[in-house]
Amino acid sequence: MNELCKKSAVQVVRLLKSGEVSPEDLLDAAFARIEAVDAQINALPILCFERARKQARNLKKPDSPEAGYLYGLPIAVKDYNDVGGVRTTYGSPIYREHVPGVSDATVARLEANGAIPIAKSNVPEWAGGHTFNPVFGTTLNPWNLNMSVGGSSGGSAAALATGMVWLATGNDLGGSLRIPASFNGVVGLRPGPGVVARGKRLQPFDSLWVEGPMGRSVADVALMLDAQAGHDLGDPFSFPSPERSYSETLNSSGCPKRIAFSRDLGVVHVSKQIAGIAETSVLKLHDAGIEVTEEIPDFNGVLEAFQTLRAILLGSMMGPLLEKHRSQIAPEIVDNVERGFSVTPELLFEAERIRWRLFQSMMDFFETHDYLICPAASIAPFSVEQRYVKEIDGFPCETYIDWFSITFAVTMTSCPVISLPCGFTESGLPVGLQVVGRPRSEGALLRDSTRLEELFGLKDRLPIDPVG
C-alpha cells in the first residue's frame, strides 16, 4: 500500500499546502490503490480520472486564498450527489446513463474548497440500508467480503476503510451515513439540518435528509465539514459556517462530564451481541471519569412517526417518477412511495406532535447531560446475500427498514450525531456508537468525540486490505 494512502486527510492536506506533495502525487496514489483494491469490493463503480487530472492542473498555488480547506485532496462522492460532467445514477436503471451538467450544491462547495472528486461511490437503489443496485451490483465489506457494508453510504465507507480515498461524502435520512460508518469501522457525522447545503434534487423544506462528511478519524471529518458547511441560496435551511473552523475547535480543551447511555432507546430491538459491545465500550468512558446515567429522553411513538414522515418525503420526491417508471423501481421503494400516498391528516398531525414532543424532551435532557449515546446499528454486518434484515434475535422486522430504527429514531431529534467505531464482534466485524449532541453544537461534538476516539483506541486500525 502506498504510504500516502495510509496517512490521514489532515496529514495529507498539510503536505499539500506545504508543497511536499502535489495533487498529482495524490491522484497517482489514489488511482493505484483503486486499481489494486476495488475489484474485490466494488465500492467505486464510476471513475472520473481525466476530470480529476484537469481539475488538479487548474488549481491555484497552495498558499493562494482560493486553495480552500482541502487544496488538491482527492475524494469520493456518493452516487446520490451530482458531479458535473460525470455519470450520476442514484443506483437506478432509470438514470443509468444520466450525466448532470453541473455539480450539486454539496459537491460544488467541496470543489470550491479544493476537493477533487475522483470517483462516485456505490449506493442502494434510491434508499436503503444495504448497498446493492441493478446498475452496478453489490458492494462488499472489506472486513469480510461475505458481509454487507450497510447503506446507503456503503460505497463511501468501504472506500475509506480500504484507503482508496481520504474523505468521502455521505448523506443521511434514517441512518444512511451512520450505519455504513459502523459496519466499516470509519467515522461519519450527521450534522443538524442546514449545516451543509443540499442540492436542488431534494425537497428544500425537508429536515430529515442531511448531507455530511465521512472519514477515518474525527479530525478528518472535522476538516471535511469545514469544506462543506455554509449557506447556499438554493437551500433555504442552510446558514453560514461558523467564524471559528471546526478543525480549530478540536484544539479547545474539554471533555464530556455527564452522558446517558441506552442499549436500545427504550423502543427498538438491538441484538444482544451489539448491546453488549456497546455497553462494554461505554464502561471505558466511566473508567475515564465521565459520569454515565440511564436517564434518556422519551422516544415513545417516534418510530411510527418517522415512518410517516419518511413516506411523505418519498411520496413527494418520487411520486411523478413512480407514475412513469414503476416497473424500473425496486418493490420496497414502490411500497414506501405508495405509503406516502395513503398518509391521512390524522397520521401526519400525530407524527408532527410526536416529533415536537421528542424535541422538547431532548432539550430537557441537555439541561443535565452533555450527550446521549447508543449503538449505531442494531446488528453486526449481515450476509451480503440478504436483501434486508428480517429479524433481530428472533424479533421480526415488519418493514425493510425496521432493522435500522436505532438510527432513524435519532434522526427525529434533529440533533447532530456522530458514528464512532467502538469495538469489534468476536468474528472481527466493526461496531459503532452514536453520540448525540445539542442542536448547533457540531464543533463541541467533534471536539469531545476526539476524546472518546482516544479512549476507544481504534482509529489506527485503518486503512485495511480486504479480507476474504
- Which helix (H) or strand (E) covers residue 420, if one does? strand 417-424
Model confidence pLDDT, tens digit, residues 405-445 = 999 999 999 999 999 999 999 999 999 999 999 999 999 99
- R_g (Cα) of the chain, nearest Å: 20
Please, is 405 exposed, middle or buried when counting C-beta atoms within 10 Å of its C-beta (0-12, 13-18, 19+)?
buried
Blockwise average pLDDT, block size 10, the chain, 468 residues: 94 96 97 98 98 95 84 98 98 97 98 98 94 98 98 98 98 97 98 97 95 98 98 96 96 90 96 97 96 98 96 94 93 91 96 98 98 98 94 89 94 98 98 98 97 93 94
pLDDT for the residue numbered 336: 87
Tell me if 242 is assigned to some domain.
Answer: yes
Report the C-alpha dihedral over residues 431, 435, 441, 446, rounded to 10 degrees. -40
Q: Which of 7, 8, 17, 78 is catalytic?
A: 78
Question: Domain total for the chain?
Answer: 1
Q: Which residues contact 50 (CB under 8 A, 6 or more apart)?
A: none
Q: Which pLDDT belongs to residue 67? A: 83
- Per-residue pLDDT tens digits for 194-218: 999 999 999 999 999 999 999 999 9
DSSP type of residue 456: H
152 flagged as catalytic: yes
- Please give the helix or strand (H or E) that residue 76 lies within, else none: strand 74-78
Mode of pairing for the β-strands spanning 291-293 and 371-375: unpaired
C-alpha cell at 186: 470509519
Which residue in 92, 103, 148, 152 is the catalytic one? Answer: 152
CA atoms within 13 A on the CB side of 88: 20
Helix (H, G, I), strand (E, B) or coil at 198: coil
Residue 367, domain CATH: 3.90.1300.10
- Is there a catalytic annotation at residue 252? no
Q: Is 22 a catalytic residue?
A: no
Contacts of 52 (CB under 8 A, 6+ apart): 27, 74, 116, 117, 118
pLDDT at 355: 98
List the catalytic residue out of 103, 121, 148, 176: 176
Residue 71's domain comprises 3-461
Distances (CA, A) of 254 to 81, 282, 352: 35, 18, 35
| Residue 190 in domain | yes
* Three-class SS state of 14: helix
Judge whether 184 and 160 are in contact, CB under 8 Å. yes
Q: Model-level pTM?
A: 0.97
Domain assignment present for 268: yes
Cβ burial of 305 (10 Å; 0-12, 13-18, 19+) is buried
**Has residue 466 been placed in a domain?**
no
256 found inside a domain: yes
